[in-house]
């Protein structure tokens, strides 16, 4: 856990007086302004923002990739060029399915307009996570609901 005067961070989630964000390699991926936040809840679940949509798209892309395997195996040379592209889409589909089904720990941040997941990417340590949540509450006044005991996913 990194503690600064202006913000606190743990793994890829950062809290400050301005808002909460998910950061990767020094770049802000998601930012939610503090004034817009209605509720923050520590939770766990799918590694996708919209898991149902991602799962459906992943299945469609995987089916598209699988549909190219049969003509290529039967020796259809004309299909080879398109088939390789289709196989690439199939691999992307498999990755999307994997990400949608993988369980992760995150902060579910609710605003009037939207709900965003800020993921703790990496091995989550219960003690360090608790210290981060306490620091975010004490230093910046965030009220984070942590009533679930099954949220810690490494």
The string over 95-133, giving b where at least 16 C-beta atoms fall within 10 Å of a residue's C-beta and e elsewhere, is ebbebbeeebbbbbbeeeeeebbbbbbeebbeeebeebb
pLDDT(154) > 90: no
In a shared domain, residues 17 and 87: no
Global pTM reads: 0.72
In a shared domain, residues 74 and 87: yes
Between the alpha carbon of residue 98 and those of residues 118, 147, 154, the distances in Å are: 18, 28, 16
Question: What pLDDT is stored for residue 4 in this prediction?
Answer: 47
Beta bridge partners of 8: 3, 15
Question: What pLDDT is stored for residue 3 in this prediction?
Answer: 46
Question: What pLDDT is stored for residue 2 in this prediction?
Answer: 52
Segment 89-119, tens digit of pLDDT: 999 999 999 999 988 888 899 988 988 998 8
Question: What pLDDT is stored for residue 54 in this prediction?
Answer: 95
Q: Who wins on pLDDT, 4 or 117?
A: 117
In a domain, 136, yes or no: yes
CA angle 140, 29, 7 (to 5 degrees): 25
Q: Who wins on pLDDT, 22 or 82?
A: 22
HSE toward the beta carbon, residue 143, CA cutoff 13 A = 5
Segment 39-85, tens digit of pLDDT: 899 988 888 888 999 999 999 999 988 887 777 777 766 666 677 77
The count of domains in the chain is 2
CATH assignment at residue 41: 2.30.29
Range in 2-16, 19-33, 34-48, 106-120 with the lowest mean pLDDT: 2-16
pLDDT(1) > 70: no
Question: What pLDDT is stored for residue 61 in this prediction?
Answer: 94
User: Can you give the residue range of the structural domain that contains 18?
Assistant: 2-47+103-145
β-strands 37-46, 144-145: how paired? parallel
Two structure tokens written together for 78: 């004309």
In a shared domain, residues 59 and 126: no
HSE toward the beta carbon, residue 109, CA cutoff 13 A = 21
Give how far the C-alpha of residue 8 lies from the chain's centroid of Cα atoms, to the nearest Å. 20
In a shared domain, residues 97 and 107: no
In a domain, 151, yes or no: no
Question: What pLDDT is stored for residue 100 in this prediction?
Answer: 92
d(CA 147, CA 145): 6
In a domain, 154, yes or no: no
In a shared domain, residues 84 and 110: no
């Amino acid at each position: 856990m990194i503690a600064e005067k202006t913000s606190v961070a743990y793994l890829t989630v950062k809290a400050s007086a301005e808002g909460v964000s998910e950061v990767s390699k020094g770049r802000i991926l998601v930012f939610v302004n503090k004034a817009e936040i209605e509720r923050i809840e520590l939770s766990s679940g799918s590694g996708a923002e919209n898991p149902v949509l991602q799962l459906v798209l992943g299945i469609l892309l995987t089916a598209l990739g699988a549909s190219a395997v049969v003509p290529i195996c039967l020796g259809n040379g004309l299909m080879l060029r398109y088939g390789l592209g289709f196989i690439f889409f199939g691999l992307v589909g498999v990755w999307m399915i994997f990400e949608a089904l993988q369980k992760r720990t995150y902060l579910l941040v609710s605003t009037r307009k939207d709900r965003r997941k800020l993921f703790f990417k990496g091995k989550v340590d219960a003690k360090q996570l608790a210290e981060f949540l306490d620091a975010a509450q004490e230093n910046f006044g965030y009220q984070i609901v942590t009533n679930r005991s099954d949220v810690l996913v490494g």
